[in-house]
Amino acid sequence: MSSFVLGFHEMEKQLLLVGGKGLNLGELSKIQGIQVPEGFCVTTVGYQKAIEQNEAYHALLDRLTMLKVEDRNQIGEISRKIRQIIMEVEIPSDVACAVTHYLSQFGEEHAYAVRSSATAEDLPHASFAGQQDTYLNIIGVDSILQHISKCWASLFTDRAIVYRIQNGFDHSQVYLSVIVQRMVFPQASGILFTADPITSNRKLLSIDASFGLGEALVSGLVSADCYQVQEGAIVDKRIATKKLAIYGRKEGGTEAQQIDPDQQKTQTLTEQQILQLERIGRQIEAYFGYPQDIEWCLVDDTFYIVQSRPITTLYPIPEANDQENHVYVSVGHQQMMTDAMKPLGLSFFLLTTPAPMRKAGGRLFVDITNMLASPDSRQTLLDTLGQSDPLIKDALMTIMERGDFIKFVPDDKKELSSSKSISSAGSQAQMESDPTIVADLITSSQTSIEQLKQSIQTKSGSDLFDFILEDIQQLKKILFDPQSLGVIMAAMDASSWINETMNKWLGEKNVADTLSQSVPNNITSEMGLALLDVADVIRPYPEVIDYLQHVKEDNFLDELVTYDGGQETQDAINDYLNKYGMRCAGEIDMTKTRWSEKPTTLVPMILSNIKNFEPNASNRKFEQGRQEALKKEQELLERLKQLPDGEQKAKETKRMIDLIRNFSGYREYPKYGMINRYFVYKQALLKEAEQLVEANVIHGKEDIYYLTFEELYEVVRTNKLDYETISKRKDDYKFFEKLTPPRVITSDGEIIVGEYKRENLPAEAIVGLPVSSGVIEGRARVIINMEDADLEDGDILVTCFTDPSWTPLFVSIKGLVTEVGGLMTHGAVIAREFGLPAVVGVENATKLIKDGQRIRVHGTEGYIEIL
């Protein structure tokens, strides 16, 4: 066995020697009953030997590592030069000898496929499919050696380089092995996915098949038949018109041939062959333990497998502890935070919630199977979710209509107690619209947080963890306090009542939106207005403004005092941070960097406020909204009094308006209290992390973010940790960040997509959920990260999601469009309070709308037009 060449049966799990494709072929050839055309691998040692002494190659490689995806021209020029060098390099004699030796064993006269296999290819987290070259039907030793050089050179095609840059792979650490494999000449070939690539359903197997070699299908030259098989039964067949096929030529190489017209519409595989292929696919999937994307060829009734790789685009399935069917709903879509969370953040959220939650892909999902199974709780659930996100409700209706996925149970009154108690709390609170209720709830929460800050200072080690667990019980009491929930429900019920009743009595839609403007006690909108006040303090001091325009470091506050107005500025920003510094984008993940930890985040927003607003803008904005709401209230009551039984209608309406004005601001408060507590816990845990760094248990403080609360407790207790855990979790997190979580996913891994049911909309309309009334035109600013926001007065913010930390931007904008959200999520609540037309839950809004386009947002009807 040479280190330059390995036969398929000689390979162990040596990814760095044979690359992803080679490794998988070696594994496939070990599976009982699976036919793999015989062959061998020229290992990466041969490639490295060929180029290790070449100075020109290494110099160009160094230049390449400095480039970004945008530098297309330079990438093109350098990659062309590197390919030329590799093609001209002589293959080392010991590599050539080893290749000749293996070919003499298999038969030099045969035709071979010469295929690239990179070390960063066909991996569980990155497929790199089709990035390097493959050559078919190559005959003769000299020709095979020449094509090995061609494969080596293909490691530096433009597309392979760009893909590596995008996926964070170091060019100098990726090597190429070359597979030389006996050619088979199939009558049919194709691809088999053991999970449906469209819906991600793990039980639905999908086969593409066409005549001849698979190259025509992979390169998109021909349409393929598509067969779908589920648990041994063919459930769908689409027969394509196949005009072309690629076949091998006698003298080597391949050619495209026309297919006889009478054969073009024939089914490529028989029913029996389709089911045989399904069995082969399931056997390979079971061996690798993960859904596979498999390339196959059919020769004289025998299926040969020429490749198998993991399907890397599937969203992971939430873990369950049984084999039953389950339905999961995304928590991120409810919480306006669909980013991946780190393990410590996930475990804190799990400790805080009583809901049956499961983890998948760095996100949380609620298992709603039991609620869907019971008729009464099902209706409550569908109504609640339908209000917050119609796309979730529509997806769940699709599952219900199938009828066989969930086992329905006769109604059980016990199931309902929790949802019933919330609604009854709401109706009780409706009896008296007393503003002191909210003031008392806020005071009691604040007192509790102050006590926590005092008590936690004396705790460390295991005591700290016990103390935090105990305090989380206190947090849960506050979050799920029946009176607190009652206030929130009362405001929501009152808004629904107003909208429905005013539409019925006066023919006016979404009246509650106007009545909700500038309500008192909304901690989140107050936060946006308070940043305008900070701008007012700084505005008179040009030196400070100039200094802020150049700050990069987070200790910038210390240097402020040396400037005229610096002390005042420092005080104003510190006061703001004392009240709101525990907030940040994605704040439900306690590991995310808070404003107090990175105050530079606020600087662009403060400067934008100085530029875009006159002094005292916060009071004017709030007062303007309050006056509009009051005016709307008076106008409604006047009109109602003109109706039959008008006095009674006006009296009833006035009571509901008071509920909206007094209670709806409070809705943002419980979460503010929770985030406050999270930050106190986090600061205490980071002190423990410092001790672990000193004791060399972890490398950096933030390593603790990759452990769950329970694991961290154990590490602090024992001062022991296998650091592999941290490294693996960091890799997982990088992978999870790239995934897009579904709203609804089943235990089969199937992603169910909901649709908006709307009529009479303009043909080009981009549809979403209307959450704040009005129509506005303006420039779209597509912003993915809050730090990159450069807004001018009158812009329309288009983003994936907004949580409370985005609120300071709301003072500058005229309208809002988000991909995620519902009627009662933060963006919607604040948009109504600031009187901004808003449409949320717009699938792919940040891709469909381009930054700088003029758009019209229809906040009442729920759609966007590009002008």
Alpha helices in 592-668 (DSSP H): 603-612, 617-641, 646-663
* Residues 6 or more apart whose Cβ sits within 8 Å of residue 446: none
User: What pLDDT shows up at residue 88?
Assistant: 87
pLDDT over 90 at 766, yes or no: yes
First to last CA, the chain: 68
User: What pLDDT shows up at residue 168?
Assistant: 75
User: What pLDDT shows up at residue 258?
Assistant: 80
User: What pLDDT shows up at residue 65?
Assistant: 81
* 171 noted as active-site residue: no
Dump pLDDT digits (tens) for 572-605: 999 999 999 999 999 999 999 999 999 999 999 9
Dump pLDDT digits (tens) for 787-841: 888 888 889 999 999 988 899 999 889 999 999 888 878 888 889 989 999 999 9
Alpha helices in 719-856 (DSSP H): 724-738, 807-810, 826-833, 845-848
DSSP code per residue over 527-578: HHHHHHHHHHHHTT-HHHHHHHTT--STTHHHHHTTSTTHHHHHHHHHHHHH
Catalytic residue selected from 147, 171, 326, 826: 826
Residue 202 pLDDT level (bands cut at 50, 70, 90): very high
Average pLDDT over residues 185-213: 92
Q: Which two tokens stand for residue 337?
A: 């935070």
User: What pLDDT shows up at residue 232?
Assistant: 93
Can you name the CATH fold of 1-183?
Dna Ligase; domain 1 (3.30.1490)
User: What pLDDT shows up at residue 389?
Assistant: 86
* Residues 6 or more apart whose Cβ sits within 8 Å of residue 505: 640, 643, 649
Dump pLDDT digits (tens) for 440-459: 999 999 999 999 999 999 99
pLDDT over 80 at 422, yes or no: no
Please tell me the least confidently modeled range out of 216-225, 717-726, 730-739: 216-225
For tokens 């290790």, the residue is 52
Q: Which CA distances in Å does 5 have to 96, 145, 429?
A: 10, 13, 78
User: What pLDDT shows up at residue 414?
Assistant: 46
Residue 428 pLDDT level (bands cut at 50, 70, 90): very low
Residue 417: how many CB atoms within 10 A of its CB? Answer: 10
Decide if 572 contacts 534 (C-beta within 8 A).
Answer: yes
pLDDT over 80 at 417, yes or no: no
How far out from the chain centre does Cα 185 lie? Answer: 43
Decide if 617 contacts 532 (C-beta within 8 A).
Answer: yes
User: What pLDDT shows up at residue 11?
Assistant: 84
* CA gap 712, 715 in Å, rounded: 5
pLDDT over 70 at 125, yes or no: no
Residue 593: how many CB atoms within 10 A of its CB? Answer: 13
User: What pLDDT shows up at residue 825?
Assistant: 83
Domain boundaries, the chain: 1-183, 185-314, 327-354+364-402, 471-680, 755-866
Q: Which residues pair with 363 in a beta bridge?
A: 360
Could you tell me which CATH class the domain 185-314 is placed in? alpha beta
DSSP assigned state of 8: G
Angle between helix 523-538 and 669-694 (nearest 10)? 70
User: What pLDDT shows up at residue 429?
Assistant: 39
The percentage of residues in the chain with a pLDDT greater than 70, rounded to a whole number, is: 95
DSSP code per residue over 657-706: HHHHHHHGGGGGHHHHHHHHHHHHHHHHHHHHHHHHHHTTSSSSGGGGGG
* Residues 6 or more apart whose Cβ sits within 8 Å of residue 101: 2, 5
User: What pLDDT shows up at residue 701?
Assistant: 96
Question: What CATH number should be reported for the domain whose range is 755-866?
Answer: 3.50.30.10
Average pLDDT over residues 518-540: 95
Using alpha carbons, select from 861, 50, 782, 88 the residue that is nearest to residue 513. Answer: 861
